[in-house]
């Protein structure tokens, strides 16, 4: 079935920093509003409006927040396109993390809240009443959050890194490794992902997947990128885009994808034309 949607989004971000004897004290807040297809109701259901917020704050290498998982940000997200492929499912999580920076090398460790009301925290009894009982719904240890960590090194224009995430509720692991680099006007990303459970919170797939991405800065204002992802059930997806930085603070992006296989669906096509203003 073919269809189209109109999606508009506005963001306000506030950031503050100051120095201290313990390192930089910093904070960041984002308030975001989304509207889908002229909807006027403020709801999280499809076709409506959404108002969401994220934050993080910290001192030195210690950080607290509710945002994309520290591991996803540590690895620089996914491939070279805006979508970047399926590089992880750990978004919008409460966490506490510590990052150690040794110049060309850095490492992090994080505890991430895996409780979701109505999913693995609450459940409904026979009468339809909500019961607060994490013990029954959580498959792992009730006292333990999800745990993740990673290490990476930078060698000139190249970066090599690895990530490990443990989903304690599912009692499963996710491993990611990546290499990124820039060669003149070209850039590349190679990433491998493995999970031993399709319910793993970090990567919802039981098996191996790989992403290969390429990009090129064609002119001072125009760039192109492509990502190819493959899963070991022989599913695959290709994503390509063309971006134009029209003027400072105004850009246009055209991106499309095509994929096929059990992990994608039957000949799935997507496309996006985005106009963006920032200041």
Q: Which domains does the chain have, with CATH numbers?
A: 1-60 (no CATH), 61-277 (2.40.160.10)
Q: Which pLDDT value is given to residue 276?
A: 96
Convert the pLDDT of each residue in 108-127 to its tens digit.
999 998 876 545 555 555 66
Q: Distances from the Cα of 135 to the Cαs of 115, 123, 139, 142, 185, in angstroms?
A: 11, 11, 8, 6, 54
**Per-residue pLDDT at 147 exceeds 60:** yes
Mean pLDDT of 77-91: 92
Q: Distances from the Cα of 208 to the Cαs of 19, 51, 204, 267, in angstroms?
A: 43, 35, 11, 21
Instruction: Name the residue with higher pLDDT: 90 or 121.
Output: 90
Q: Which pLDDT value is given to residue 34?
A: 87
196-226 burial, b if ≥16 CB within 10 A, otherwise e? bbeebbbbbbeeebbbbbbbebeeeeebebb
Contact 181, 166 (CB under 8 A): no
Instruction: Name the residue with higher pLDDT: 39 or 252.
Output: 252
135: three-class secondary structure by DSSP: helix
What is the spatial distance between Cα 246 and Cα 80, in angstroms, rounded to a whole number?
20
């Amino acid at each position: 079935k073919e269809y189209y949607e109109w999606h508009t989004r506005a963001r306000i971000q506030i950031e503050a920093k100051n120095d201290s004897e313990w390192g930089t004290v910093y904070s960041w807040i984002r308030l975001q509003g989304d509207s889908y297809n002229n909807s006027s109701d403020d709801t999280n259901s499809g076709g409506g409006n959404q108002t969401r917020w994220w934050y993080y704050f910290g001192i030195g290498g210690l950080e607290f927040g509710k945002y994309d998982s520290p591991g996803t940000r540590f690895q620089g997200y996914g491939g070279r396109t805006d979508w970047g492929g399926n590089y992880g499912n750990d978004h919008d999580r409460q966490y506490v993390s510590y990052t150690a920076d040794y110049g060309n090398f850095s490492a992090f460790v994080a505890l991430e809240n895996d409780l979701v009301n109505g999913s693995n925290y609450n459940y409904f009894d026979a009468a339809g009443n909500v019961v607060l009982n994490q013990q029954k719904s959580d498959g792992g240890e009730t006292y333990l959050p999800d745990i993740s960590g990673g290490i990476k090194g930078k060698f000139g224009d190249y970066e090599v890194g690895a990530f490990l995430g443990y989903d304690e509720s599912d009692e499963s692991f996710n491993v990611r490794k990546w290499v990124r680099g820039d060669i003149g006007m070209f850039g590349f990303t190679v990433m491998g992902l493995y999970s031993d459970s399709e319910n793993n919170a970090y990567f919802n797939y039981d098996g191996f997947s790989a992403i290969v991405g390429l990009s090129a800065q064609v002119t001072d204002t125009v760039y192109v990128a492509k990502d190819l992802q493959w899963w070991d059930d022989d599913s695959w997806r290709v994503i390509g885009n063309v971006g134009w930085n029209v003027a400072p603070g105004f850009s246009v992006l055209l991106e499309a994808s095509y994929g096929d296989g059990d992990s994608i669906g039957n000949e799935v096509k997507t496309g996006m034309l985005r106009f963006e203003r920032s200041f």
